[in-house]
Chain A
């Protein structure tokens, strides 16, 4: 599903963000991306979204080199990738229902699809009774569930999560994790960048460790494996 071939990326100020990354992520895998701040996790995710292009090497998604995609095709690539962020990124003036529906409307899905899909996905994340509330009326755990619903409502092939539990308490983190697991079980590839050591250790999924832009470990059923701040 995702393949990195000798991918390197250096930012204009000269700091290398990623160095010679090679990896394969199969369809339906659940992968943790761990590493200290500045280790290249976010760059990794931005490359997958083609918000950035690698300076060297190439990235394949579903067998296609996304670097060769013409610019106008990029939106269609992104329709196959759902995204969840630490700061939720919900629209404050729209209700829960409208926030999720917005993701379908702006890619031109007909109203009938919107009307059948949105309630279904809100049911999945357990927020059916809050569909007419504004995000400001929800707890942060609930807001993140709305964000997950929005990311998944179009049934993407890949779900990217950039520290989705970073702003949540352990109980809410737990809810989000079990949601991501359920999504993963439907066959969606999940790539999650995280700092949450306990969570990674407990889940026993594949762990890719980045350190200063280099991939230092790729472990099936792995653990977090280093102390935050100790920085190996």
Chain B
């Protein structure tokens, strides 16, 4: 057994060295594609985490039109108070809305407006965060209501954008992973071709099939592993040097999980690539 490990190790290294340019190409392609996979995974986790954070503090704001009569305002107030969808509401008068407005925009934008131009509003908390959308559609067409805004909407749009980004990432990664597999397959094929004399002598003297195959499989395995290690480094660097906003920032467990997936996929495509090459080109 020890003889065998020494043999397989030596053969694998010499194969990798002999085809070093092809090996480099394969390793880099694996690295790039898996970096994309890793980033897509991080993005997905960040988005999921952030949308949970946003939803816990969801507010629905019912903006009254500045021309709304006191009767219309009171009617909306009563309906909000009686609606089972709404947990509680706070009324913001013009002065309070103006203060919030001043705080959120730079002075250059605010000096054209006065408190009298501001609408009044109800700041409501839905009973169930996910129902914010229903609250919105219920009150949007009430008389005197100018608009209803719910962050739910923005979250949904954001999630939608993130999902599209993710699909793009994964599609790119998928194409790259396929080409990485083909590259690995091709390196192994070249290695098999370079060693055809050895292989024929081995068959002749009675080396077992697995004895002949394993150095080629390890070769693909190592290419996949090297590529995925580079990708894992890239993902870690992304995580460390581009820290995201608090709501997005992921903990180290998520990072480790992502890297585990990246390395797992790398090793898998390396092994699959060499397995296909062996089935097709190594006739034992």
Contact = CB atoms under 8 A, between A and B. Distances in A.
Chain A complexes with chain B: yes
Interface of A: 49, 72, 75-81, 83, 89, 91-92, 102-103, 105-111, 150, 154
B198 interface: yes
Contact of A91 (B201, B208, B211, B212): B201
Interface residues of B, number: 19
Which of A77, A79, A92, A108: most chain B CB closer than 10 A?
A108
B3 interface: yes
A106 B7 contact: yes
A111 B206 contact: no
Interface string B174-213: 0000000000000000000000011011111111110110
A89 B197 CA distance: 8
Contacts of B203: 75, 78
B206 to A, nearest CB: 4
Contact of B3 (A49, A103, A109): A109
Contacts of A91: 197-198, 201
B4 interface: yes
Given A91-B197, A102-B201, A75 B3 contact: no
A212 to B, nearest CB: 28
21 contacts: A72-B208, A72-B209, A75-B206, A76-B208, A78-B204, A78-B205, A89-B197, A91-B197, A91-B201, A103-B205, A105-B3, A106-B7, A106-B202, A106-B205, A106-B207, A106-B212, A107-B205, A108-B3, A108-B211, A109-B3, A150-B205
A89 B3 contact: no
Nearest to A153: B205
Contacts of A80: 206
A176 B223 CA distance: 46
Given A91-B198, A106-B211, A154 B205 contact: yes
Nearest to B204: A83
Given A77-B206, A79-B206, A154-B205, 13 more contacts: A72-B209, A75-B206, A75-B208, A78-B206, A89-B197, A103-B205, A106-B7, A106-B207, A106-B212, A107-B208, A108-B1, A108-B4, A154-B206
A10 B24 CA distance: 47
B251 to A, nearest CB: 48
Contacts of B205: 78-79, 102-103, 106-107, 150, 154
Contacts of B197: 89, 91-92
A109 B3 CA distance: 7
Q: Which of B200, B206, B211 has the most CB of A within 10 A?
A: B206
Contacts of B207: 75, 106-107
Contacts of B201: 89, 91, 102-103, 106
Contacts of B211: 106-108
A78 B206 CA distance: 5
Contacts of A76: 206, 208
